[in-house]
Amino acid sequence: MTARHLGRVAAVALPAVFLGVFFLYPVAAIVGRGLTGEGLDRLTGLPGSASFRSVAWFTLWQALVSTVLTVVVALPGAHLLARHRFRGRAALRALTTVPFVLPTVVVGSAFVALFDRFGLDDGAFRMRHTVWAILASHVFFNVAVVLRTVGAFWEGLDPAVEEQARVLGAGPWRTFLSVTLPRLWPAVAAAASIVFLFCTTSFGVILILGGPTRATLETEIWRHAVWRGDLASATALAVVQFVAVVAMVVVANRLQRRRSVDERSTFRLPPHPTRRLLGANLALLATVLLLPVAVLVERSLSVGDGYSLRHYGALANRVNLLPVSALVALRNSLLFALVATALALVVGGLASLVVVHGRGWVSRILDLGFMLPLGVSAVTLGFGMLIALDDPPLDLRSSRWLVPVAHALVGIPFVMRTLVPTLRSIDDRLREAAAVLGASPTRVLREIDLPIAGRAVAVGAAFAFAISLGEFGATSFLPRQPDRLTAPLALFRLLGTPGELLRGQAMALAVVLMVLTAACVLVIESRGRFGSGVVRGDL
Amino acid sequence: MHRILARALSLVAAACLPVACGSGPATAPDPEPIADQAITLVTHDSFRVSQGILEAFTAETGVTVTVENAGDTGQMVATSILTADNPIGDVMYGVDNTFLQRALDAELFEAYESPALANVPMSLQLDPGHRVTPIDFGDVCANYWIDRFGDDLPVPVTLADLVDPVYRGLLVVENPETSSPGLAFLLATIAEFGDGWEEFWKSLRINDVVVTASWDDAYYGEFVSGGGDRPIVISYASSPPAEVIYADPPVDTAPTGVITDTCFRQVEFAGILAGTTHRSAAEALVDFLLSDTFQEDIPLNMFVFPASTTAALPRAFVDHVVLPEDPYTLPPAEIGANRNAWTERWTQIVLR
């Protein structure tokens, strides 16, 4: 009894302490510092400032439109992945996580090259430095979030319900809108809220693709804090961003709780898709995801007049711009990603259990709190960690742990947003039956929750891993020793000096990063499926 | 954050000890022995040094150096100001004349006049109080794509040429609110035109200048080198040599050139961070940064010139890098006092 009690306390305490020490305390420290003195005046002066209002409005609407577009583009693919089996399904799933590791600069130039090729970027319709470029790349970066989290949930829904609707005479659209969508809602809301937060705080996309006249709260915080040395104004904006994000997360959580599905899928072998369905879906995904990627691959191979693997071979040699070779940077990134994923799984997993099984304010705060790192600017978090975690026993500023911790903070929301809806959808009667038959809570967890949620755990882990591999913002705000260079930072450095050689290496590094991500995601997911095959035969 | 308290206590303890222990008359303090000390050098992400150079310093003095990269120059300065009461290192290297005043205003540094300054031209010693020591310098200049110019379209020579209608639509610059070369170029125009800089930029806008947020977006997105269509870009005097050294396949001459009358000089400094507990070791490191060993290693790693006149320049560097004779400069104090107002005004003129 005491051991069980202790376990419960630990399950709550570990995530709570992690969130408190590594997120809330640093953010509070930097906000506290910034608001002393002029900061408060700046904050109260914001509503009256026309430029602030336009920045806030643009931040909001571009994020909203990006989110809606992402959901619309991703849902058909999620249906394909959830309801059909076809050759290459696992590979397609893994491929979709690739955009997460691609730096904005690289994706941006790929998009521009694409528009060039199709003649979209000349006088008549110039994509560069327009809001369209921002929206298109936000869809590119985030489509996987909806595709995967909704897809994993969709797989668990019983297709018999739709079939009954069809038998009763509903058309495919009617069936989707009034039967499928309402049941999918918790997962759609969860995914959309993540996408929305991501788009709210996206940085390079706005600055590079949007051009010099577009600004969001995120770019303005950075500009004031770093470029103008005006911490007071930066903090005032950071407070607004924080409050807005909390409000949005609260609303999103409401939407998500509104309906929790209470059903179990009957096992059946998913059908093969019709050729037309498969073709149409793949064409859509290919346009959004594969074309930019194909451009990168082409560039990484191109040398002078022809093609060669030369740039790939060069990755093992250190160019004197970088403190270590690109290969070492890749190894660093992989190590950081492994640690960050483990942290995200343990902390996010425990937090999910607390959210699903716990009641009261603790579970609600964890549910909300772990979403916040997605919506808080990298500047706020990075600078906050610098001034908060600077004393023993928590002098982590030059510790090798700080980077994985910062990455895990971004990964945890993914683990939770995939896990929580799935855990909620597990029929409580199943757990009760097990308990009645004498299973301990741990055993119930192991035999009921984990097998059913296995797919969701794997998807969450895959995201945490891919995000850590590609993370740039928070990493760049933490001081680091030269030999701990990560691959995205190396890529950024390579693109910071002229020369075909460096550019070729950067492209090759981007492609290796993509391939590595896809491969790791495949492994994580095939390992991470636990017993899900037993429950619903994931073939 | 408690380091100040700890230091105060240790000072009190040190002051009391000889008396309390009755260990005899106090002697003049020996120079603090620095062997076996470990110090941290805070620097920007562009910092590069050859293998063995910092090790040579350790062999000479016994002091080991840990390098911490803290982002670009602006980020490094912002980080150091935030952590001023508990600094992340002992010496900072890489603050330039555009950010210098901000760092000085925040009282980041302890004054130190290195004996090695004897070999550094006075024109680089921009802080008479020696709170910072010049280590290297380089230039931000307009670069052009050679093939696009010829008899029918001569290469522009001066800043004023850039508003000539024959160069309409050819120039790409970086936003001085978000990019270091962008700011340097704005400062060049202010140094050249004085109060007339606003008129110059109005004309430049009429002449269809394109603005990007960052250097890589300008160089790889709009400039010919990266596949764009604009043949003039704001970059560095060292960019053409980089085009040769990092060419693929190899080339003999750079496809780009520097317009030498458009350059703004950036000087990078090192300073001892206030609050260091390794003052003597930090002084030794600053001296070392001005030694020939380090200075001669600078050019091929960071593509800038060493500050010390005794350092020999590598052949490959001299062959390719242009050193403008009379680059634009502005006093750091003037930059510090006006930069936010200037960039705001610039935004009004060029972007709104």
Do residue B340 and residue B217 come from a single domain?
Answer: yes
The residue type found at B118 is: A
* Nearest residue, CB atoms, B71 vs list A128, A476, A495: A476
pLDDT, tens digit (0-9, with 9 covering 90-100), for A381-403:
999 998 999 887 778 887 888 89
Q: What domains, with CATH codes, occur in chain A?
A: 314-531 (1.10.3720.10)
Domain hosting residue B341, numbered range: 139-265+330-350
Instruction: State the DSSP code for B331.
Output: -
pLDDT, tens digit (0-9, with 9 covering 90-100), for B89-102:
999 999 999 999 99
Beta strands A306-307 and B171-174 are: unpaired
Q: Which of A14, A101, A64 is nearest to A370 (CA)?
A: A14
**Does residue A257 have a pLDDT over 80?**
no
Do residue B285 and residue B251 come from a single domain?
Answer: no
* Cis geometry, peptide bond prior to residue A393 (ω within 30 degrees of 0): yes
Task: Quote the pLDDT of residue B19.
Answer: 38
Q: Is residue B79 part of a domain?
A: yes
Q: Is residue B276 part of a domain?
A: yes
- Chain B within 8 Å of A504 (Cβ-Cβ)? yes
Q: Is residue B132 part of a domain?
A: yes
**Does residue A423 have a pLDDT over 80?**
yes
**Does residue B203 have a pLDDT over 90?**
yes
CA A514/CA A520 separation, integer angstroms: 10
Do residue B309 and residue B251 come from a single domain?
Answer: no
Q: Is B245 helix (H, G, I), strand (E, B) or coil?
A: helix
Average pLDDT value for residue range A313-330: 88
Which residues from chain A sit within 8 angstroms of residue B178, using beta carbons?
A: 207, 212, 223, 227
Task: Quote the pLDDT of residue B16.
Answer: 39
Q: B140: which 2 tokens?
A: 């931000």
Which residues from chain B sit within 8 angstroms of residue A498, using beta carbons?
A: 219, 225, 235, 239, 242-243, 246, 256
Which residues from chain B sit within 8 angstroms of residue A212, using beta carbons?
A: 175, 177-178, 211-213, 351
CA A387/CA B201 separation, integer angstroms: 40
Interface contacts A/B by beta carbons within 8 Å: 147
The angle that helices A500-527 and A487-494 make with each other, rounded to 10 degrees, is 160
Distance from the A504 Cα atom to the nearest Cα atom in chain B, whole angstroms: 8
Task: Quote the pLDDT of residue A239.
Answer: 92
3-state helix, strand, coil in chain B (%, to 5): 45, 20, 40
Q: Is B232 helix (H, G, I), strand (E, B) or coil?
A: strand
Q: Which range in A170-179, A199-208, A246-255, B132-141 is most confidently predicted, on average pLDDT? A: B132-141
Do residue B129 and residue B150 come from a single domain?
Answer: no
Do residue B125 and residue B182 come from a single domain?
Answer: no
Q: Which of B160, B155, B138 is nearest to B302 (CA)?
A: B138
Which residues from chain A sit within 8 angstroms of residue B205, using beta carbons?
A: none
Q: Is residue B90 part of a domain?
A: yes
Q: Which residue of B has its CA nearest to A490?
A: B45
Label residue A125 by pLDDT band (50, 70, 90): low
The angle that helices A231-257 and A181-200 make with each other, rounded to 10 degrees, is 180
End-to-end CA distance of chain A: 41
Q: Is A480 helix (H, G, I), strand (E, B) or coil?
A: strand
Average pLDDT value for residue range B9-21: 40
B158: CATH: 3.40.190.10
Do residue B110 and residue B256 come from a single domain?
Answer: no
Distance from the A215 Cα atom to the nearest Cα atom in chain B, whole angstroms: 11
CA A128/CA A111 separation, integer angstroms: 9
* Cis geometry, peptide bond prior to residue B249 (ω within 30 degrees of 0): yes
- The answer to whether A145 touches A77, Cβ cutoff 8 Å, is no
pLDDT, tens digit (0-9, with 9 covering 90-100), for B327-337:
999 999 999 99
pLDDT, tens digit (0-9, with 9 covering 90-100), for B141-190:
999 999 999 999 999 999 999 999 999 999 999 999 989 999 999 999 99
Do residue B143 and residue B223 come from a single domain?
Answer: yes
Label residue A240 by pLDDT band (50, 70, 90): very high
Q: Is residue B218 part of a domain?
A: yes
pLDDT, tens digit (0-9, with 9 covering 90-100), for B37-77:
999 999 998 899 999 999 999 999 999 999 999 988 999 99
Read off φ and ψ for residue A478, nearest 5 degrees: -105, 130
This prediction has a pTM of 0.86
Average pLDDT value for residue range B80-96: 94
Q: Cβ–Cβ of B66/A482 closer than 8 Å?
A: no
- C-alpha pair distances (Å), A316 with each of A390, A508, B10, B185: 36, 11, 49, 37
CA A486/CA B164 separation, integer angstroms: 45
Label residue A220 by pLDDT band (50, 70, 90): very high
- Residue to mutate among B3, B53, B75, with most A CBs inside 10 A, is B75
SS (H, E, C) A412-432: HHHHHHHHHHHHHHCCHHHHH
- Chain B within 8 Å of A393 (Cβ-Cβ)? no
Mean pLDDT of chain A: 84
- What ipTM, to 2 d.p.? 0.85
Choose between B140 and A203: higher pLDDT: B140
Average pLDDT value for residue range A212-241: 91
**Does residue B7 have a pLDDT over 60?**
no
- The answer to whether A402 touches A471, Cβ cutoff 8 Å, is no
Q: Is residue B1 part of a domain?
A: no
Lowest-confidence segment of A311-325, B193-207, B286-300 by average pLDDT:
A311-325
Do residue B177 and residue B255 come from a single domain?
Answer: yes
Do residue B120 and residue B214 come from a single domain?
Answer: no
Which residues from chain A sit within 8 angstroms of residue B226, using beta carbons?
A: 109, 503
Q: Is residue B203 part of a domain?
A: yes
Do residue B149 and residue B134 come from a single domain?
Answer: no
pLDDT, tens digit (0-9, with 9 covering 90-100), for B213-258:
889 889 988 899 877 889 999 999 999 988 988 888 888 889 999 9
Average pLDDT value for residue range A157-170: 85
**Does residue B112 have a pLDDT over 90?**
yes
User: Can you list the positions of beta strands (E) in chain B?
Assistant: 38-43, 64-69, 91-96, 109-110, 133-145, 171-174, 210-212, 232-236, 256-273, 305-306
Q: Is residue B107 part of a domain?
A: yes
Q: Which of B158, B188, B157, B164 is nearest to B174 (CA)?
A: B188
Distance from the B51 Cα atom to the nearest Cα atom in chain A, whole angstroms: 9
Per the DSSP assignment, residues forming a β-bridge with B233 are B143, B172
End-to-end CA distance of chain B: 43
Choose between B316 and B335: higher pLDDT: B335
Total structural domains within chain B: 2
Do residue B189 and residue B234 come from a single domain?
Answer: yes
CA B100/CA A79 separation, integer angstroms: 57
- The answer to whether B41 touches B68, Cβ cutoff 8 Å, is yes
* CB-facing half-sphere around the CA of A129: CA atoms within 13 A: 14
Label residue A341 by pLDDT band (50, 70, 90): very high
Q: Which of B227, B73, B138 is nearest to A500 (CA)?
A: B227
- Chain B within 8 Å of A113 (Cβ-Cβ)? yes
CA B190/CA B342 separation, integer angstroms: 9
Do residue B215 and residue B345 come from a single domain?
Answer: yes
* Nearest residue, CB atoms, B220 vs list A109, A207, A477: A109
User: Can you list the positions of beta strands (E) in A271-391?
Assistant: 302-303, 306-307
Label residue A455 by pLDDT band (50, 70, 90): confident
**Does residue A272 have a pLDDT over 90?**
no
